[in-house]
Amino acid sequence: MNVSIIIPTYNEKENIVILTNRLIEIFKNSGHDLKIIVVDDNSPDGTSSVVKKLDLFEQNIFLITRQEKLGLGSAYQAGYDWCKNNNSECIIQMDSDLSHPPEITINLVDSIGEGYDVAIASRYVDKGGVSSWPIHRKIISFIANMLVRVFLGSKLHDNTTGYRAFNSDTIELLIKYDVKSNGFSYLIESIYLFHKKKLKIKEIPFIFQERSIGKTKLSSFEILRFLLSIFHLLIYGIKEKPN
């Protein structure tokens, strides 16, 4: 299967080397054709330059460099366009900070191979969890997921995880519909779209690891934007992009 992994980056030069090496090793004997797409928002720490020096650059590792920090949602969209143009069959999106254990990618790929439209790495199903989160992060995550379930009708346990896999038809939907958010709210908007389209979704347990290098990018502004996006979806929903 042609597998593409989208990794948005901003100041992740140490982590991206570790992560790409681990992914290459995991997929080496898997029988899948792996492509890693790093989407970098012109990181001041030189993340793009580091990616260009990797051994498998432009063989298994590809780089999309943007001129400024444009946000998580638009980084995913840039990756989706690349995957569509390169006939990817299974598309994974994951964080670059090593909080998403790369070993789970194989389980995500297998789920797409089994016929699921979407596979989600979930912290809140049996055998899933979070390592070393402070209590306020746990409370924020619990409330966020509760709000999505109550107001948007999602049946998923983990609606806010960014560790996901899709088949090519789902990517077509994500490109076709006007998912507006550029930040973490994008994750909620896409879940809402999956729910409305009645996609077949599987949740796979994983243990979230707090980053050991760099700083978290979850800000108070992103939390506020997340809350506003829920109410925006309730009022307006999601429509197809104009032609």
pLDDT at 75 (0 to 100): 94
Weakest-pLDDT range from 72-76, 90-94, 174-178, 225-229: 225-229
Distance CA(42)–CA(70), nearest Å, equals 10
pLDDT in tens, 100-141: 999 999 999 999 999 999 999 999 999 999 988 889 888 888
Q: How many domains does the chain have?
A: 1
Give the other-Cβ count within 10 Å of 105's Cβ. 26
pLDDT band of 224, cuts 50, 70, 90: confident
Q: Is residue 242 part of a domain?
A: no
List pLDDT tens digits, range 145-185.
999 999 999 999 999 999 999 999 999 999 999 876 776 78
User: What residue type is assigned to position 129 of the chain?
Assistant: G
Q: In this model, does residue 142 exceed pLDDT 70?
A: yes
CATH number assigned to the domain comprising residue 20: 3.90.550.10
State the pTM of this model.
Answer: 0.92
CB atoms within 10 A of CB 226: 22
Q: What gap in Å lies between CA 68 and CA 65, rounded to an integer?
A: 9
Q: Is residue 170 in a domain? A: yes
| Residue 182 CA from chain centroid, whole number | 13
Q: Is residue 133 part of a domain?
A: yes
Q: What distance in Å separates the CA atoms of residue 147 and residue 8, rounded to the nearest whole number?
A: 26
Place of tokens 């460099």: 65
Exposure pattern of 185-195 as b/e (b: 16+ CB <10 Å)? bbbbbbbbbbb
Tell whether 243 is covered by a domain.
Answer: no
Q: Which domain holds residue 198?
A: 2-236
One-letter amino acid identity for 117?
A: D
* Residues of the chain above pLDDT 70, percent: 94
